[in-house]
């Protein structure tokens, strides 16, 4: 072992216990390149957990809050979301990816990365962390190692991911693991990343590694999250399973539980769906889907925690999460306002003080940044990290190594004038087409303009690292190979009338219970050109049962009318996008044309552009 930095005997012993020459070689390489003053290898023990928690406080990367176990962390004001512009897949010569995937020449990218990493950890402590993606000791397991100089990254990763030392021992010296190298880079006096202009993320599919530097925001620095999601997608598409940007949840009706997965672009209701009252959560963000020995689709949560948006979480609308992030337990909160060590965030249901400290430093109402933009008390993309098992609604199968059998898959988008609140696809292949046609207004979860309509196949476009044609083909094949494929649905919670949302935030529970009923063949439905939609009587009964309120026929008809013109415009947009993509499966184009034909036939039959749901009965 040739590690040219201070390393204690305990760290050396942990590496010897893992007994993997590839692990040691990687550490040696980046110690020599990054030049840290000290190297600490973290294990699975409580002692190591306490060490990293204390180090985050000592380094002033976190500060204690009033509630026991809670800490606050701040990222640089200009580092509050994933930086798409400076995130690239390293592309070897001769290989091609979809034009929507940002790539850089492999050698050019590696050279830039190594140049930026040179000496980046001088005077700092390098932390080496071992984790497991997916439940331990299962067919879902992927060992993953992260090297970082940020104690809060290591701390939040310990909350979000399962322990991994055992998984690395089981490799028996194999190099079949992911690895991530991260540095927050040079820091400002307030402990935030200084060289934002040199913020970079490089995805290396050849070596199954990610190199990330000069950032702190969790989506860019916590390597096992969206960074390793890309590596997992690459591996899944080589091995005939699916890695998806999906929650996994249990939907309960009496003694019956039906498991759903769901893919929603950021700020489209993903976490709030996974946390609907009365249901149970397996995971809120990333899922592995495989075929089990009986031919069914089973899913497992890649993570053991939640890195969720905190804005608008309040006791009324999100009671389970609100309780968890306001009561004693281990929680890290990022980029919210604090006053006297008490956190405040947008939409929390309490009056927010007029001044305090936030991601911009000392804050006061009316404060503007250098560009004249008003600074909110907490950032709209402020986050929290906590363990799923700390939630009252954690599912009993959250860590089941066999996964859970999937009855339904939900694809959610975000638009104000086109897509109905809930619809069931006509078949598996049609459902894949629906998922591949997701559109959503852009949000603050990624740096750039808000309110722009984006296309995001399976809500995964930001993380796709394989050609779109390959990705869709593998989805089609995955369902075809199952003895019983899950039922696929589409949702849209953001339909508007006169600029106001038509449905309340809690109405999604009715859509969810209707989907659960459809999977279990309890409800009939109306067949429309875009799929099966609910009957009014069934939704009326659900609203009465769930909310003790009337769901008016007027609201039903407005929400579930088929707007031919808008839907045809969407198909035109989708067709235009996919025309430029090579090797899209013919079955995709077939479903697009069939849906267009059904819409035109309906317009001709009923002689109007907006068709009421009752017209199709």
Burial 381-412 (b: 16+ CB within 10 A, else e): bbbbbbbbebbebbbebbbbeebbbbbbbbbb
Name beta bridge partners: 283.
Answer: 248
Exactly one of 34, 132, 243, 268 is catalytic; which is it? 268
- Contact by Cβ (8 Å): 221, 212: yes
Burial 16-33 (b: 16+ CB within 10 A, else e): eebebebbbebbbebbeb
Q: Is 129 a known active-site residue?
A: no
Cα dihedral across residues 411, 412, 418, 422: positive or negative = positive
Residue with tokens 């990343």: 193
Q: How far is CA 596 from the centre of its chain?
A: 31
- Contact by Cβ (8 Å): 611, 600: no
- Contact by Cβ (8 Å): 210, 133: no
Stated as kind and residue range, the H or E segment containing 94 is none
- Contact by Cβ (8 Å): 540, 547: no
Kindly state the tokens that stand for 351: 């009056």
Nearest to 410 by CA among 491, 494, 521, 301: 491
Cα dihedral across residues 488, 493, 497, 502: positive or negative = positive
- Contact by Cβ (8 Å): 374, 408: no
Kindly state the tokens that stand for 539: 């939704």
Burial (CB count within 10 angstroms: exposed 0-12, middle 13-18, buried 19+), residue 219? buried
Please list, in sequence order, all residues whose beta carbon lies within 8 angstroms of the beta carbon of residue 372, skipping any fewer than 6 positions away: none
- Return the active site residues: 268
């Amino acid at each position: 072992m040739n590690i040219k930095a201070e390393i204690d005997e305990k760290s050396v012993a942990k590496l010897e216990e893992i007994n993997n020459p590839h692990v040691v070689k990687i550490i040696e390489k980046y110690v020599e390149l990054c030049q840290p003053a000290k190297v600490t290898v973290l294990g699975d023990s409580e002692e190591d957990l306490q060490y990293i928690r204390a180090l985050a406080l000592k380094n002033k990367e976190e500060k204690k809050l009033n509630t026991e176990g809670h800490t606050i962390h701040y990222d640089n004001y200009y580092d509050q979301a994933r930086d798409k512009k400076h995130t690239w897949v390293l592309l070897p010569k001769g290989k091609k990816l979809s034009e929507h995937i940002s790539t850089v020449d492999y050698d050019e990218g590696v050279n830039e990365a190594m140049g930026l990493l040179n000496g980046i950890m001088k005077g700092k402590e390098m932390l080496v962390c071992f984790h497991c993606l997916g439940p331990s000791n299962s067919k879902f397991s992927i060992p993953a190692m992260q090297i970082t100089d940020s104690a809060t990254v290591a701390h939040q990763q310990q909350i979000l991911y399962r322990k991994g030392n055992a998984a690395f021992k089981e490799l028996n010296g194999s190099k079949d693991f992911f690895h991530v190298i991260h540095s927050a880079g040079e820091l400002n006096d307030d402990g935030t990343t200084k060289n934002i202009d040199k913020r970079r993320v490089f995805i290396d599919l050849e070596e199954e590694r990610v190199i990330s530097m000069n950032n702190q925001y969790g989506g860019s620095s916590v390597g096992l999250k969206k960074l390793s999601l890309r590596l997992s997608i690459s591996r899944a598409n080589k091995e005939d399973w699916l890695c998806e940007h999906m929650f996994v949840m249990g939907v309960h009706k009496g003694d019956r539980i039906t498991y759903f997965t769901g893919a929603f672009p950021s700020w489209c209701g993903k976490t709030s769906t996974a946390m609907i009252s009365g249901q149970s959560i397996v995971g809120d963000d990333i899922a592995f889907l495989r075929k089990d020995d009986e031919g069914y689709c089973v899913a497992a949560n890649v993570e053991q925690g939640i890195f969720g948006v905190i804005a608008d979480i309040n006791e009324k609308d999100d009671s389970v999460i609100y309780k968890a992030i306001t009561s004693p337990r281990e929680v890290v909160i990022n980029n919210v306002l604090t006053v006297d060590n008490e956190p405040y965030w947008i939409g929390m249901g309490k009056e927010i003080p007029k001044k305090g400290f936030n991601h911009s430093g000392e804050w006061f109402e009316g404060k503007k940044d250098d560009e004249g933009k008003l600074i909110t008390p907490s950032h709209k993309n402020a986050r929290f990290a906590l363990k799923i098992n700390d939630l009252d609604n954690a599912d009993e199968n959250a860590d089941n190594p066999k996964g859970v059998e999937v009855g339904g898959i939900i694809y959610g988008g975000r638009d104000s004038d086109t897509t109905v609140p809930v619809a069931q696809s006509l078949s598996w292949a049609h459902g894949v087409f629906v998922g591949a046609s997701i559109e959503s207004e852009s949000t603050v979860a990624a740096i750039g303009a808000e309110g722009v309509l984006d296309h995001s196949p399976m809500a995964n476009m930001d993380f796709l690292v394989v050609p779109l044609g390959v990705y869709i083909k593998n989805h089609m094949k995955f369902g075809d190979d199952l003895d019983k494929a899950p039922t696929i649905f589409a949702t849209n919670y953001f339909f508007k009338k006169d600029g106001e949302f038509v449905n309340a935030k809690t109405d999604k529970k009715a859509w969810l219970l209707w989907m659960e009923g459809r999977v279990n063949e309890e409800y009939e439905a109306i067949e429309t050109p875009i799929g099966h939609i609910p009957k009014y009587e069934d939704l009326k009964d659900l609203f009465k049962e769930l909310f003790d309120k009337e769901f008016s026929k007027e609201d039903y008809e407005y929400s579930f009318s088929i707007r031919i013109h808008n839907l045809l415009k969407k198909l035109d947009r989708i067709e235009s996008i996919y025309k430029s993509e090579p090797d899209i499966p013919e079955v995709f184009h077939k479903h697009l044309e069939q849906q267009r034909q059904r819409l035109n036939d309906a317009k001709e039959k009923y002689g109007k552009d907006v068709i009421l749901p009752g017209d199709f009965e």
